[in-house]
Amino acid sequence: MYTRYLSRLFSAMAGPRPVVLSGPSGAGKSTLLKKLLKEYEGIFGFSVSHTTRSPRPGEENGNMYGTSKASVQAVKDKNLICVLDIDMQGVRAVKTTDLNPIYVFIQPPSMNILEKRLRDRKTESEESLQKRLHAAQVDMVISKDPGIFDVVIVNDSLDDAYGKLKDALIEEIKKVQKTNLSS
Ligand code: ADP
């Protein structure tokens, strides 16, 4: 009984698990995130990135490409789910920490559809578009490695993809809602 109480207390103190959203540019991460933030106000937070510096003593693996472990912890301490919208390099960096996030990969339905969405978004020059498509191909292969992502969501129908994203996060969302109500 007492052990169970303590373990619940400690996990509550540690705050909700962060969420890593990764996936090719144009896969729909911002679109999905926007929906999530709209439906769940006051549940999610963002880490404040800073210029890269060397880790301070005792801050082993603390510096994850501009997102410090401390800034993620600061969001957790506010009882918010910290959202990390990061590339594959960032994912690898987070993997070396004890942040224990939920790793979600957002995948476009196909390379052709990704290209179309990127073109329609009209944010890319032809050169950056080609670069992004190449990077996307690499990421799609890496994302298939078992053990990197907890969930891979194909963003075909936006509503379906959003439903799957919610499913992946609902446990943490409920924890935050519950703690907010009881405090
Ligand atoms: P990311 O943040 O991953 O780079 P965006 O959210 O900007 O991607 O999405 C890229 C483009 O695709 C945007 O113009 C967006 O409106 C569109 N888009 C996103 N999801 C879908 C979807 N399920 N169906 C059709 N278009 C989508």
Query: pTM of the prediction?
Result: 0.88
1: in domain: no
**Residues above pLDDT 70, as percent of the chain:** 85
27: in domain: yes
Report the pLDDT averaged over residues 14-18: 91
**The total number of structural domains that make up the chain:** 1
154: in domain: yes
52: in domain: yes
Q: Is the dihedral of CA 89, 94, 154, 32 positive or negative?
A: negative
At 98-117, the pLDDT tens digits run: 899 999 999 999 999 999 99
Q: Which domain holds residue 150?
A: 7-182
Quote the ligand 1 centre to 113 CA distance (angstroms).
10
Q: Are the beta carbons of 155 and 27 closer than 8 angstroms? A: yes
Q: Would you say residue 14 has pLDDT above 90?
A: no
* H helix runs in 40-156, sequence order: 69-77, 88-95, 111-121, 126-142
Q: Would you say residue 173 has pLDDT above 80?
A: yes
126: in domain: yes
Identity of the residue numbered 50: H
Query: 167-171 contacts: CB < 8 A, separation 24 or more?
Result: 168/19, 168/102, 168/104, 169/19, 169/36, 169/81, 169/102
3-class secondary structure, 24: coil
The pLDDT of residue 181 is: 78
174: in domain: yes
2: in domain: no
Quote the ligand 1 centre to 56 CA distance (angstroms).
38
Please list every protein residue whose CB sits less than 6 Å from any atom of ligand 1.
23, 25-31, 117, 120-121, 155, 158, 161
The pLDDT of residue 182 is: 75
The pLDDT of residue 51 is: 47
Burial class (CB in 10 A: 0-12, 13-18, 19+), 73: middle
Report the pLDDT averaged over residues 143-166: 96
Quote the ligand 1 centre to 89 CA distance (angstroms).
22
Report the pLDDT averaged over residues 123-152: 95
The pLDDT of residue 65 is: 60
96: in domain: yes
27: domain CATH number is: 3.40.50.300
At 48-59, the pLDDT tens digits run: 765 455 555 555
Q: Give how far Cα 11 sits from Cα of 77, 123, 179, Å.
A: 11, 42, 12
At 58-91, the pLDDT tens digits run: 555 566 666 788 899 999 999 999 999 999 999 9
Any idea which residues carry the catalytic annotation? 56, 121, 132
Q: Which residue has the higher pLDDT, 132 or 179?
A: 132
